[in-house]
Amino acid sequence: MRTIVVGISDMKASNNPEDVLITYSLGSCLGLILYDPIAQVAGMLHCMLPLSAIDPQKARQTPCMFVDTGVPLLFREVYALGAQKQRIIVKAVGCSSLLDEKEFFRIGERNFTVLRKLLWKNNILIEKQDIGGNISRTVSIAVETGRVIVKSGGRETEL
């Protein structure tokens, strides 16, 4: 088994059944997981901010930093590995208000809103989610099985 770490403002995709994709410390960031069970293709995105319009130059350099530019990129990557839109299972994790207790910036909430709008425009539904609250999460997906595990506060749950 090979563990592939998805860093902040990063994405990875794999069709190798030996791989496990994992990202750590999702606070207000969005963790998006895509899986095609027939092609055994998994993809994961860890993005920080909702809209690339706040810094177009940064979005060109690091498109996975933003939900609106990272999500389409992840879909293109899993399609390139053989995934098909009608079979993709979508799961979302994170988007908490961990560092925004007064909810002034509402980055987590805005990240999730932009994701939902993007998916809705493309007729794609989120199958499962672990969103919001004020906790940090780590999430992983096993390419062979599509099993998604969320770890937070010493607990481990399957999503």
**Helices vs. strands in the chain: H and E counts, helices first:** 3, 10
Question: Which residues does 59 contact at the CB level (< 8 Å), separation at least 6?
Answer: 52, 65, 66, 69
What are the structure tokens assigned to 99, written together? 């560092």
Look up 29 and say whether it is catalytic.
yes
**What's the rounded Cα separation, in Å, for the pair 77 and 71?**
10
What percentage of the chain's residues is helix, strand, coil (to nearest 5)?
Answer: 30, 35, 35
Strand partners, 36: 41
Catalytic residue among 29, 47, 64, 95: 29
Single-letter amino acid, residue 140: S
Which H helix or E strand runs over 28? none
Which of 154, 127, 153 has the alpha carbon at shortest distance from 33? 127
Catalytically active residues, by annotation? 29
